[in-house]
């Protein structure tokens, strides 16, 4: 027989295609790495504008004190591994970055709320960086694309 926990387990992922309600506060951590994904319309090719996105990211990350460990611009989404100083800085950074990218590339560009997942240091952090590296190799057609299995399931 399994013991029921007294404290409910917090979900470390929020936004994107997950069915999180807007009434819940986004789970963020200023001590742990965060995987951030911005999903755009399929008709827009972000990869062609990767230099614009990388430049805007570095400008606003510096302005709001966000540490960007890695980023990967795909055809229809952008991946980041970041560390934030506080919730307010994250909020200002994501609002400004998505607004400036949309201003440069077209209105109504992003179709979902930003997806964030809190990671841990060590193996999980290395896996996040390896995942972004693998995505870069596939988008530049250095490696062939391998479909990933979905980790999402009933919780």
Q: What is the arithmetic mean of pLDDT over 45-50?
A: 88
Q: Which residue has the higher pLDDT, 3 or 104?
A: 104
Report the C-alpha gap between 92 and 87 in whole angstroms: 9
Report the C-alpha gap between 41 and 134 in whole angstroms: 22
Residues 6+ apart with CB under 8 A from 69: 33, 81, 82, 83, 125, 129
Report the C-alpha gap between 152 and 138 in whole angstroms: 22
Q: What is the arithmetic mean of pLDDT over 25-51?
A: 88
Tokens (6 digits) for 47: 């990869």
Instruction: Characterize the bridge pairing of strands 77-83 and 34-39.
Output: antiparallel
CB 124 within 8 A of CB 12: no
Q: What is the pTM of this model?
A: 0.82
pLDDT in tens, 94-128: 999 999 999 998 877 888 889 999 999 999 999 99
- Split at pLDDT 50, 70, 90, the class of 155 is very low
Q: What is the arithmetic mean of pLDDT over 143-147?
A: 78
Calculate ∠ Cα 32-37-40, nearest 5°: 165
pLDDT at 33 over 90: yes
- Split at pLDDT 50, 70, 90, the class of 66 is very high
């Amino acid at each position: 027989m399994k013991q029921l926990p007294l404290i409910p387990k917090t979900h470390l992922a929020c936004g994107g295609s997950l069915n999180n309600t807007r009434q819940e506060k986004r789970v963020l951590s200023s001590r742990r790495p965060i995987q951030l994904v911005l999903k755009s319309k399929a008709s827009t090719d972000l990869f062609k504008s990767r230099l614009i996105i990388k430049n805007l990211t570095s400008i606003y990350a510096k302005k709001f004190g966000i540490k960007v460990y890695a980023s990967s611009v795909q055809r229809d989404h952008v991946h980041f591994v970041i560390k934030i100083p506080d919730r307010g800085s994250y909020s200002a950074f994501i609002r400004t970055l998505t607004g400036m990218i949309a201003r440069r590339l077209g209105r109504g560009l992003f179709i979902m709320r930003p997806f964030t997942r809190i990671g841990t240091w060590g193996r999980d952090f290395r896996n996040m960086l390896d995942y972004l590296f693998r995505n870069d190799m596939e988008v530049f057609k250095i490696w062939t694309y391998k479909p990933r299995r979905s980790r999402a399931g009933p919780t």
